[in-house]
Amino acid sequence: MDQLSKLALEVTQQKSTEPAFSKNYFEFQKQNEKPYYCTVCTNLLFDANSKMKTKCGWPAFNEAVKDSTKQIIDNSHGMQRVEVVCSKCGAHLGHVFENEYGPGTRRYCINAVCLAWQEEDKIKRFE
Ligand SMILES: [Zn+2]
C-alpha cells in the first residue's frame, strides 16, 4: 500500500479532523456497498449496511464491526465527547454520538481519510 497522506497522518496520529464535506467525503458517498477498513492497519471497521445518511459532512455509521473499535472519553476543545479509535492500531477515527436519533441510537462520525476499502485484490485509500 502507498504511504499515508499528510492529512491521514494528522488525523489518525494527531487526532486532527478533516474539513467537513471534503473531497474524500464525496468519494465515500459514491461508494455504497463496500465495507471499510482502517487506513493504517486494514482492520475491518464498518460494514456497508451500517452506513447512515446524514448531512454532517463526514462519513457516518450506526454500528461498528464487533470489537473493531475502542471508545475513549475526550474532553478536548471544551466539550465532552467520545473518541473512537481502531482497536488494533489505536488510530484516531472520529467520535461517536449517542441518542441523537432516539434512545439507544448511535452515530459514528468518522473522518473519510481514516477509511480504506477493497477493490479487486487491493486495499485502496482516500487521499
Ligand atoms: Zn488500525
- pLDDT, one tens digit per residue, over 87-124 is 999 999 999 999 988 999 999 999 999 999 988 888 88
- pLDDT, one tens digit per residue, over 1-34 is 568 999 999 999 999 999 999 999 998 988 878 8
Catalytic residue, from 41, 56, 89, 109: name it.
109
* Window from 27-36, 53-62, 78-87, 103-112 with minimum mean pLDDT: 27-36
Q: Which three cell numbers mark 16?
A: 486532527
Report the candidate in 90, 120, 119, 126 with the shortest Cα–Cα distance to residue 7.
126
In total, how many domains does the chain have? 1
Domain that holds residue 46: 6-125
d(CA 2, ligand 1 centre) in Å: 15
Specify whether 86 is catalytic: no
d(CA 87, ligand 1 centre) in Å: 7
**Residue 63's domain is classified under what CATH number?**
2.170.150.20
* pLDDT for res 43: 97
* pLDDT for res 77: 87
In a domain, 1, yes or no: no
d(CA 69, ligand 1 centre) in Å: 9
Instruction: Express the helix, strand and coil content of the chain in percent, nearest 5 each.
Output: 20, 35, 45
Question: How far is Cα 123 from Cα 60, in angstroms, rounded to an integer?
Answer: 20
Q: Please say whether the dihedral angle defined by the alpha carbons of residues 95, 17, 117 and 4, taken in this order, is positive or negative.
A: negative
